[in-house]
Structure formats: C-alpha cells, structure tokens
Chains A and B, each alone.
Chain A
Amino acid sequence: ILNVEQSPQSLHVQEGDSTNFTCSFPSSNFYALHWYRWETAKSPEALFVMTLNGDEKKKGRISATLNTKEGYSYLYIKGSQPEDSATYLCALGGYSTLTFGKGTMLLVSP
C-alpha cells in the first residue's frame, strides 16, 4: 500500500504572500506524480503531471518540482490571491489508479 503524505495539513496566508507545500512518497516503483487543485463545490482540477526526476513545471503563479530519488515534490504559489483558496492534492499513479494524500487546505485572506 502506497503512503502519500502531504504537509502542512492546512495553511492560512495573507494576499500577496508566497507559500509552498510538500508531498512525500515512497521513491521505489515511481511512475508519475500528480497535483490537483480542488475548490469547494467544484471538480478537482489537474495542475501538473510530473514524471522525471528534477522535473520543474509552471502554470502562471504556481510551480512544482519533483525529486523521485528522495521521494518528494514541492508546490509553490507566488503572490497568493484569494482565488487560490482551495485544497491542493497530490497523488501517485501512472496508467492506472491514483493514490492520494490527504491534501493541504489553503486559505488566502484579502
């Protein structure tokens, strides 16, 4: 059974702050690491799928890095905005099922 850990569990920042979250996973049998953003009452939205060690991806103010050898990924948000408030989920998986962490709940206050 894969164990995917996310930290922190929740985070409250002010508008304009930059923040980051961590996703830790077993480094053996790695296929892909997924990041999702899940806003209340909406569908989880795919942010990134990362497969290669050292991979860095960026989408607007959000970026992510991947270290498969040590088993972690970081998600960064630069200049947080209230609309970034959501739960950020990471998941391990390839062409099959995803194993999710519990998520990091981010609240950005104006």
Chain B
Amino acid sequence: GAGVSQSPSNKVTEKGKDVELRCDPISGHTALYWYRQSLGQGLEFLIYFQGNSAPDKSGLPSDRFSAERTGGSVSTLTIQRTQQEDSAVYLCASSSRGYEQYFGPGTRLTVT
C-alpha cells in the first residue's frame, strides 16, 4: 500500500517568507509526528497528533512554527517569517498504535 508522502520534496525560500509543508500519512494511522533533522544531526521532535486529541506541541522551537491536521489525516506544518536556521529536512511519520513509526521521505527546506 501507499506509504507516507510529503510535499514538496525540496523548498527554497527567502528569509522572512512563510512556508507550508504537507504530509499525507498512511491511511488509518491515528498518530502523526513532525520532526526536524538538521545537517548531520539527529531527529528533533516538533509536534505529535493522536486522533482527535489536542496535539502535543512541546517540541515546537518558537511561535513561528505551527501545524494542523485536518480530518484526522493530512497535516500541514507552517513556518512563518523563515530564518536561515530553519534550513533542515522536515520529516513526517505516522503510526497506527503509537509504536513503530513509518516515515515519509522528507522535505528539504533551504532558507536563503
């Protein structure tokens, strides 16, 4: 079946612009996660959605970052007023039982 998909695969934006990153999870997966991976670094947790519960936003680095999940499926991560330090690969993952995660290929964001 289809895996987790993310779009765009690459995004180049100018400093100060807003960007939206999209994640389509595996159908039926109730949990959805966003992570950030900077060059040569590990995974930084950003936000977690579980079903209809309020999301866990504890990993968002600033109020410029926000995310929503519509209809328990597709999720959008929005970064406002992008800064150069936001340049990274943004990974989305979904899970059916909150255990093993299925990752998308990521969106590489470059802020110039």
A and B physically associate: no
Chain A interface residues toward B at CB < 8 A: none
